[in-house]
Amino acid sequence: MTLTTPNLLTLLRMATVPLVVYLLLFPGPLPSVLAAAVFFIATITDFLDGYIARNYGSDSNLGKFLDPIADKLLVNAALIMLAAMPRTPRVPAWMVVVLVSREVLVTGLRAVAASAGQIMVAEELGKYKMVLQSVAIQGLLIHYTYFHVDFFAGGMFVLCIAMVVSVWSGVEYFISAAGLIGHASRPQGSKRAAI
């Protein structure tokens, strides 16, 4: 199996997750800015791998599989740390539960699709959700007020919008895949879908 440039960028994005988590163990302004910078670099790789895959014929099933996993790892890790950090104000835990639950459910849906031999790519609404979440998390990571801008308040505002879009896109995933789930759930000898 040959790793393409988009796949390498996706793996790089996954590698930034532990660094973001480590930086968020420290609640001060400097670690917060550094975590925001690392997160920004990671979101740039998300744009680049998609751009290169689409425009240079580097698309692959591995990329379609790894890309959403990398996004979920990065976003969910950042959200969980933002809710758990010992600083105030912080992201409400219930919002993180809603957002992470949606990702887990959609990931399960992808597993069902994969067991049926199909790769589910991100829907348009799901892409908007990712953009909104990235913008929101960027502000929430910075957290503090700079240049008279309250980054936490701005991040929370965008995160509320992202949560609505996230739930909406999750419902769309399940509606569009209802037939696939019904087919995959029918008994087929001893075969079972591994989720």
What is the per-residue pLDDT across 43-79, written as a single tens digit (0 to 9) for each?
A: 998 888 777 877 776 677 666 777 878 888 999 999 9
Lowest mean pLDDT among 12-16, 151-155, 184-188: 184-188
Instruction: Read off the pLDDT of each residue in 95-105 and give the average, rounded to a whole number.
Output: 92
Number of H helices, E strands in the chain: 7, 2
Residue of 55, 140, 45 lying closest to 89 (CA atoms): 140
The b/e string for 19-43 (b: 16+ C-beta within 10 A; e otherwise) is ebeebbeeeeeeebbbbbebbeebb
Residue 96 scores a pLDDT above 80:
yes
Homologous superfamily (CATH) of 5-184 is CDP-alcohol phosphotransferase transmembrane (TM) domain (1.20.120.1760)
Helix (H, G, I), strand (E, B) or coil at 19: helix
